[in-house]
Structures are given as structure tokens and as C-alpha cells.
Amino acid sequence: MMAAGPPAGEELLLDVRGLTTELALETGPVRAVDDVSFALPPGGTLGVVGESGCGKSLTALSLLRLAPEPPVRVVGGEVRFQGRDLLKLSEPELRQVRGRRAAMIFQEPMTSLNPVFTVGEQIAEGVRLHLGASRAQARERAVEMLRQVGIPAPGERVDAYPHQLSGGMRQRVMIAMALACDPALLIADEPTTALDVTIQAQILDLLARLQAERGMAVLLITHDLGVVAESCDAVVVMYAGRVVERAPVQALFSRPAHPYTAGLLRSIPSRRGASGAGARERLRTIPGMVPSLRKLPVGCAFRERCDRAQDICARVTPALTAPREGQWAACHNPVPVP
């Protein structure tokens, strides 16, 4: 089901409708991504946020069918990218999309890069495969990509192995690999998680610059709402495998509709002055824990942690509806506009 879509007539690069993914466990299948829908126009930036275990990364992997099958299986929905449903493509057809038209940056570059090949060889591999370049042309492209992502002395670094580079440089190499074939869509899964704050800012600035130069769309998977506020046009909030809110970034931060979104925003550290009424205010947390996907409560999965829960929340799973124009929430009792 896709209760909401983009405005009528808006061109879409990526249109995800009812994506559903299951994990095969010994106790039976578990629905880890449940009826997820969102859309992304060319050149746009969409943030997908939520706590660890909410299904963000598995959603991203499911889009390009990168999750191992088994135990993962996409059981429903559509992933229309440039007009084609990726879920219906054969594996050879899908390989022509991955890396060429749509690329992905993973969370941990040290485990994503092959330790026995130089970074130049790993960048050049995709260039040769997708663009038909010769070895010399592919190496030249690898050097150029290392230069574009800000790695010093790219002509020397192209022959370095991953362990010879810092964490920030390895992440830049991952970006270079992803963008070497000029994809229309970049999926960035927690691209700054393992980096210190200074390097995080550099990587995010780099992504923003490359996006602007290339006009590509970015799907940014993150738990950092500060990153979303600075980088994204629209936001999808996930909880227990489902989309609980979808909205333009400004609307979501100024008037969240779902209690879970409001709780996430309240947990962001405030920068109110070091003196005055707000100086000693404690951070507010969301009580309780994310429920296990094996034992989701009946009705709304968030109700046991929610201060706005009603009797209906224990009986009926809320559908994604529009409590206000352009903003969608799966909630029986949305947060009122402040």
C-alpha cells in the first residue's frame, strides 16, 4: 500500500511502493521491512531515520537486492527506478543497474573494501565492467576519482591497499568507487558512523558538493537527525520495520506528527546558552525499548512507549494517512501542530 505519493505530475527517479522483506529464522519468517513506501525525484535528497534495528539498512539493501538470499527474501512491493521495477529484473539485468545507474556506500569501509587489492584496482574494476574501459583508461579514471574525493597525491594513493589508509580516506575511496560510473542514484548507508566528528563533517560536505556537481539523487540512511536537517529535502521515519512518518524536512522538524518523531526530536541536545533557563535542562529520552520483530505488539508497535496511546492503538495497526497537507503519519492520535 502507498497511502501517499509525490505531487501529481512530479517526475520520479525512485518510486518504492509497499516494499516488504522477510528474514527466515529458525522460529519462522519475520517481517523486517513491512509495507515501506517512499519516492525520490532526480537530484533530490531523502533521509531515512530511526533507531538501530528499525529496518533502515535492510530497506536500502532490499532496493538493489543486495541482501543475501536466503535468509533474506523480498516478498512484496515494487521498486521502480528510472521506470523499471528492480524486483522483476533478472540477476544479469540487475548487475547492469548496480554500480552503473545506482550505487551504494556501506557503513564500514574496512569490511567493504577487499584487503588484497589496491584501492585503484577496486575503483577501476567497476569502470571496466560498466563503461568498457581499458586497463589504462580505468586506472586513469581511478586516479581522477581519488582526486575528486579529496585524497592527496592520488597518483600514489591509487596503488595503496586499504589498511594503508585512514578511516576517513577509506570512506573517500568508497565514495570514489560508488561515483566512478556517474550513477543517477547514490544510496549512502550511515556513511559517517565509524568516523570522528571532524571527518564526519568533511565527508558530508564532500557528498553535498559531488551531488551538486553531478545532479544525482541521494538516499541517506542515518540515525543522526542533525545530518538530516542539514542535508535532506524530505524525511522518512521508520520504526519496527514500518514507515511511521514521511514529510518535507522543514515540516518534520517544526511540527512532527508522529509521537515517535517528536520523541526523537526531543532527544537532540539543545544549544541553548550556557547560562539561563535552558542551561540545566536534561535530555529527554523515549522510555522503553524497540520491540522485537519476533514479538511485535498487536496494533501500533510504538504504543507501549507512547504518551498519546489510546484504546484503539492496542487493537488496530494505524495506516499512513495525512494529518496535515504534505505530511503523512501512521498514528491514531497525531501530535497537534504547536
What pLDDT shows up at residue 338?
74
Tell me which H or E stretch contains 228: helix 225-231
pLDDT value of position 26: 83
pLDDT in tens, 114-131: 999 999 999 999 999 999
Residue 137 confidence (pLDDT): 96
Which residues of the chain carry a pLDDT beneath 50?
Answer: 1-9, 273-278
* Distance of alpha carbon 141 from alpha carbon 159, whole angstroms: 13
Domains in the chain (CATH in brackets) are 14-116+161-268+284-323 (3.40.50.300)
Nearest alpha-carbon partner for 24 in 69, 55, 76, 77:
69
pLDDT at site 289 = 87
What's the pTM? 0.89
Residue pair 93/146 in contact by the 8 Å Cβ criterion:
no
pLDDT of residue 10: 59
Would you state the pLDDT for residue 6?
A: 46
pLDDT computed for residue 109 by the predictor: 67
